[in-house]
Amino acid sequence: MTQFSDLNLDPKVLQAVSEAGYQVPTPIQAGAIPHALQGRDVLGIAQTGTGKTASFTLPMITLLQKGRARARMPRSLVLCPTRELAAQVAENFDTYSKHTKLTKALLIGGVSFKEQDLLIDRGVDVLIATPGRLLDHFERGKLLLTGVQIMVVDEADRMLDMGFIPDIERIFKLTPFTRQTLFFSATMAPEIERITNEFLHTPEKIEVARQATASETIEQGVVMFRGSRRDREASEKRALLRALIEGEGETLTNAIVFCNRKIDVDIVAKSLKKNGYDAEPIHGDLDQSQRTRTLDRFRDKSLRLLVASDVAARGLDIPAVSHVINYDVPSHAEDYVHRIGRTGRAGRQGKAMMICAPRDEKYFDAVEKLIQKAIPRIENPLGTAPAPAEDEDEAPREEKRSPRSRSRRGGRTSDDRREPAPEIAEAAPTPAPEPTPAPTATETRDERPTPRRERGGRRDDRRGDRREDAVVGMGEDVPSFIAQSFAERGAG
């Protein structure tokens, strides 16, 4: 079996690794470190949690032992998709470089530019950054990338999901052509493959089997949830989440609740706090200082429930998490394994629960297909209340609309207007009117009898029978002097 001592690492690095409690490298570490130490480009395909951080941090520290940093010109660059992952890489660097004199700087959003500028001005050996903040410093003229000897891109597939690929391409072009590139990704999407073909030079490909199964120490379960009505589904789903938490009792010492969307993270966290639970949200739109405080509280167990987006699913090592609850089924099946992998770590027992709504069933099927096992069903603690079918759901809506659709004339509804009312239908037939004599030459158009209008197949009898000599547009009783003026004007 390969040991870290067999990988030709610097003795000071080996000492730090031993003090951290590691003796045997993971497959990605054993495959990538020797090629990286030889100065070759490396393309590593492995899932989060397989030890990728050490696979590029350890050879980087060994190679940078010789040389000296210059102001504003870092000697190596590590790009990470999220602030939390960048901060974790920085922690790993501090752990493994503590017996060396190498320096580092962490460039992430939510932190003062001034503090970061001071570090860069003094010169750093390792620059760990998110793409956006790195380009901000470059555009302000505070940073030069022409001295980069080693460049690392971590979690490239997550970079693609977050829309960072154009920034990555720009950063590649700002670094020297002779640099060494270490590129790590969980999957090889066509866009990522295009970048590796363009910017890596005959890379050594190290591929570790994808993590398609969860740890055996994790107990899994799913509640097949169906809301009673569409407008109540969200509130009923939050009530189900609270019931699941209550059902675990004291065994749930802390838990991560994963949501697919940032807005749902805020809504669920607010709902839990409103109902007396100790919960806080964490997602990419929050201020960095708030995210850091929340994670620190969760790590030291002063916070019980962490409601998170997938920003907390990748790369973060949060020990001793008793439960993971998937409030939403992840749209990417691989993310399910990442999420539940936050519990049951280092041989501990963990539990993962999930809520699956009807619209998420296609994602749920993909999850079961990936892990190649059926996830046990959990009975809904609130009872089963299946939503009515669409045709059943339409009837109450019609009943609700009927009172509002009543006619202002006669108080009849829209249905009443389609057919004659019973009393009208059964009434005796109206006798036919006497034939009207043909108008003489002296009669005007205004003096002709006006035919009765019909609406909806019925006569409009609201005004009653008009007199044959009625003047159009006037009332029933027209003063004689007005009628006379109309007649005179017509005659003239």
Q: Report pLDDT for 478.
A: 63
Q: Report pLDDT for 210.
A: 59
Q: Could you tell me the two tokens for 84? A: 């939390």
Q: Which residues pair with 459 in a beta bridge?
A: 454
Residue 346 pLDDT > 70, yes or no?
Answer: no
CATH class of 218-371: alpha beta
Residue 44 pLDDT > 80, yes or no?
Answer: yes
Confidence class for position 419, pLDDT limits 50, 70, 90:
very low
Q: Report pLDDT for 84.
A: 84
pTM beyond 0.75: the answer is no
User: Which one-letter amino acid corresponds to residue 251?
Assistant: T
CB 55 within 8 A of CB 29: yes
Q: Report pLDDT for 232.
A: 92
Residue 414 pLDDT > 80, yes or no?
Answer: no
CB 124 within 8 A of CB 42: no
- Higher-pLDDT residue of 386 and 250 is 250
CATH class of 4-207: alpha beta
Q: How many Å apart are CA 28 and CA 55, to the nearest integer?
A: 7
Residue 310 pLDDT > 90, yes or no?
Answer: no
Residue 453 pLDDT > 50, yes or no?
Answer: no
Confidence class for position 189, pLDDT limits 50, 70, 90:
confident
Burial of 105 (0-12, 13-18, 19+ CB in 10 A): buried
Q: What's the whole-number mean pLDDT along residues 19-44?
A: 93
Residues 48-100: tens digit of each pLDDT: 667 889 999 999 999 999 888 889 999 999 999 988 889 889 999 999 999 99
Q: Could you tell me the two tokens for 397? A: 């809506």
Confidence class for position 109, pLDDT limits 50, 70, 90:
confident
Residue 176 pLDDT > 90, yes or no?
Answer: yes
Length of the chain: 492
Q: What's the whole-number mean pLDDT along residues 433-447?
A: 47
Q: What's the whole-number mean pLDDT along residues 397-404?
A: 41
Q: What's the whole-number mean pLDDT along residues 311-338?
A: 82
Q: How many Å apart are CA 166 and CA 304, to the nearest integer?
A: 38
In the chain, where are the structural domains located?
4-207, 218-371, 445-491
Minimum mean pLDDT range among 130-134, 248-252, 319-323, 464-468? 464-468
Same fold, 4-207 and 218-371: yes
Residue 241 pLDDT > 70, yes or no?
Answer: yes
